[in-house]
Structure 1
Amino acid sequence: MEPNLFNRKGWKRCSLGPDRAPLRCDVKTGFILLLTSAFLLTAVAYVSEFSLKSAVIPVTWYKKVLNKTHTYFAVIENPSPSENRTIVLAPNSIQQSPTPQIPSQTTEISLHHVAHPSNYHFILDEPDKCSQYDPFLVFMVPVAPHQVNARNAIRSTWGNESSVQGKAVLTLFLVGLTRGSEAQQQLEEESQQHRDLVQSNFVDSYFNLTIKTMVIMDWLATRCPQANYSMKVDSDMYINVENLMSLLLKPNTPRQNYITGHLMWNRPVIRNKKSKWYVSEELYPEPKYPTYVLGMGYVFSNDLPGKIVEASKKVKAFNNEDAYVGACLKQLGIKPSSPPDSSQFRVYMGQYKRENFLRVITTLLGSPQQLVNIWKDVKRPT
């Protein structure tokens, strides 16, 4: 069968010759196509004039995020592979959105976001949690809204530890905006069931982990100042709470200006623009970061959150959240402390051996189910 150049219903068909070039077309069809093309070109020219102002960016869901006069990173939907421009959103261009949500497909273009927590507010909150439980230690877990399995695994393992060596322990999860009203409703139902979710109105993405970390610090400073220690811990981590509590209860463990974990020394700032860890000289001019603590799990005295939040007013935000906390500490003149036993803050453990997990404080795991399995084995009677 001879192929056709146009085969949509109602269109005239053009025959193709042996060399795949059109032989003839109905004149009326060609005229209509010419008019259609002219109209489309005019429309494209018209839209392009305003695309950077409104059409490219779905701005309605930014209302609660952009409530201060600052420069934020923008997102555009389905950009072309060569797209490489910075779009700055002004707060007066934002319209009200009834439900906090973000588009299903976004690409971060600019990282000039503002990390200071005063730019955001809590949608879901547990403001009285610490006054009710008076915790000695608080775990704050940054997690994506959709990662229910990770939260449930923590709730059934180390996050279920409410009293360790006679000290109260509290675990809370921090999330950003969901991707729609249905996801938001599910999150709110989960919050009502467990009462351990805190949600803020920042866009929940990899490039906003600095914002996420600073919102954690703000929550601890404003909602839980009575705690002695806190720990920022990723959702894919194993935590031996007994060993951590033993460290914190040692008489020589500082009670103020203290932060420890897996320390990172003399780390170069990545200037390769193709790297997801790229940070410009404008945001951080030094060639190396100050000593900082790897963000998979670090513990700190609870006087630090408020100090770090205050220091962030003077430190430009960049998208390496762990190094950014280190930069804020440098601004404060505070150096991270090496743990008494550095082998207790592990990145990877390799092949599972129960005796190793009995000795560590933190280590990275591969899945929520692995956490559940290892926890059961570590806690089994010997």
Structure 2
Amino acid sequence: MLRILTGLSVCMLAFIVIICILLQSKPRLRPIQLSYKFIKVREDINLTGPTINPIPDEVNWLEDLMEEVDPVCNGSNPFVLAIVPSAVHHFKEREGIRNTWAHPGLYPYTKMRAIFVLGATDNFTLQDEVNLEMDAHHDIIQNDFLDTYRNLTYKTISMLSWVKNWCLDTPFIAKIDDDVVVNPLHLVAYLQTHVTKNKSLSAIHGHLRSNSPALRNGKWAVSKEEFPPSRFPPFMLGPAYIIGRNSIDRLLVYSSYVPFLWLEDVFLTGLVAHAAGVEHIQVEKILYTKKLSRQLYKGKVAFYPGASEKNKKNAWAGIIKYSRITKLLKKKK
């Protein structure tokens, strides 16, 4: 009897050890399997009256990637296209993104591609460096407006125009600033869950800000001439938000009928989205963190905006460690 009890105890102990190991082990990374069909809604939008914002008709590209042998969207149809507004001189930031969350080795596991949107520069030496970067990476589109902070709305509208023409069947467009750390696996997992609930994909997902005052002083100040009301309509904070592909064409059309405002997030996701009837989905507590947190690599958080260089490295190291993607990042680009 004692031998039987001893044997049972040993078996039970072994069973407990195995369970503990399984619970503590890292998830196995597998190529993404998309079992849905994106439904592109085609609608005729007929607005009457004079347009008051000429920017959509003034989009002119210095580089649009359309002569590439391997187009960004057509042919590969990524699940998510990340469009990253970037200052012309931000070479380090762009290279950091290429080597982390937008690394080509991750594509089978995320179906996400990234392109960078630049404005123009009157510095010929700087432009020569950008031209070399374009030739090396084939992931930059550049418009002819001057690249300044107050021209961010131009960048946003130009990116909508580019997507409308060249990414017809990409379900999600993620606008992500070049100082945001992204966990692409968590982002895609969230969007996969969403797409099973609503295949029309016409909303904007992000950190929703409601009832925000229109500041009259400081970095983001707007004058009463620029924006008379005292408060902004609900809008998504600019560092990172996701637009369902079916709302892109609608937002672009309505942007011509909304007075220009240089605060791009307020303009596009607030004023234009309200005029176009595009829904907001609040995901602040699901996808965003304000500090370095384990939720970025062990939970569901996908965006860490405004991280310091040190925290960027630590955050990505955590994502790599938990997700087992080190070998993928060593593959040839």
Q: TM-score range by the shorter chain?
A: 0.7 to 0.9
Inter-partner Cα distance in structure 1 for 2:314 and 2:258: 42
**TM-score w.r.t. structure 2 length?**
0.73
Q: 1:189 to 1:356 in 2, by over 3 A?
A: closer
Q: Could you give the per-residue CA deviations for residues 55-113 of structure 1, whole angstroms, max 9, x where no partner exists?
A: xxxxxxxxxxxxxxxxxxxxxxxxxxxxxxxxxxxxxxxxxxxxxxxxxxxxxxxxxx9
Inter-partner Cα distance in structure 1 for 2:208 and 2:142: 29
Say if 2:53 and 2:255, in contact at 8 Å, map to a contact too: no
Which of 362, 367, 371 matches 2:303? 362
Q: 1:166 to 1:380 in 2, by over 3 A?
A: closer
Amino acid corresponding to residue 267 of structure 1 in structure 2: S
Which of 131, 151, 168 matches 1:225? 168
* Superposed displacement of residue 298, structure 1: 0.3
Say if 2:181 and 2:307, in contact at 8 Å, map to a contact too: no
Residue 207 (structure 2) pairs with residue 262 (structure 1):
yes
* Superposed displacement of residue 355, structure 1: 4.5
Amino acid corresponding to residue 159 of structure 1 in structure 2: A
Which of 90, 96, 117 matches 2:56? 117
Query: Mapping of 1:1-382 within 5 angstroms?
Result: 116-127=55-66, 128-160=71-103, 168-250=111-193, 251-253=196-198, 255-270=200-215, 272=216, 274-325=217-268, 326-339=270-283, 342-346=284-288, 348-349=290-291, 352-359=292-299, 360-368=301-309, 370-380=311-321
For the pair shown, the structure with the greater C-alpha radius of gyration is 1
> Which residues of structure 1 form unaligned runs of 5+?
1-112
Inter-partner Cα distance in structure 2 for 1:347 and 1:143: 22
Inter-partner Cα distance in structure 1 for 2:192 and 2:260: 34
Amino acid corresponding to residue 262 of structure 1 in structure 2: H
Please provide the CA RMSD for this pair: 2.3
Say if 1:164 and 1:245, in contact at 8 Å, map to a contact too: no
Secondary structure of 1:225's match?
coil
**TM-score w.r.t. structure 1 length?**
0.64
Inter-partner Cα distance in structure 2 for 1:141 and 1:162: 19
Amino acid corresponding to residue 132 of structure 2 in structure 1: E
Q: 1:238 to 1:220 in 2, by over 3 A?
A: same
* Superposed displacement of residue 235, structure 1: 0.4
If asked which structure has higher relative contact order (CA below 8 Å, sep 6+), I would say 2
Q: Could you give the per-residue CA deviations for residues 259-310 of structure 1, whole angstroms, max 9, x where no partner exists?
A: 111100011222x2x4332323444333221111111100111122221111
More helix by share: 2
Say if 1:277 and 1:319, in contact at 8 Å, map to a contact too: no
Say if 2:110 and 2:184, in contact at 8 Å, map to a contact too: no
Amino acid corresponding to residue 202 of structure 2 in structure 1: N
* Superposed displacement of residue 345, structure 1: 3.2
Inter-partner Cα distance in structure 1 for 2:129 and 2:188: 34
Say if 2:187 and 2:287, in contact at 8 Å, map to a contact too: no
Q: Could you give the per-residue CA deviations for residues 191-234 of structure 1, whole angstroms, max 9, x where no partner exists?
A: 01000001001111111111111111111111212101010000
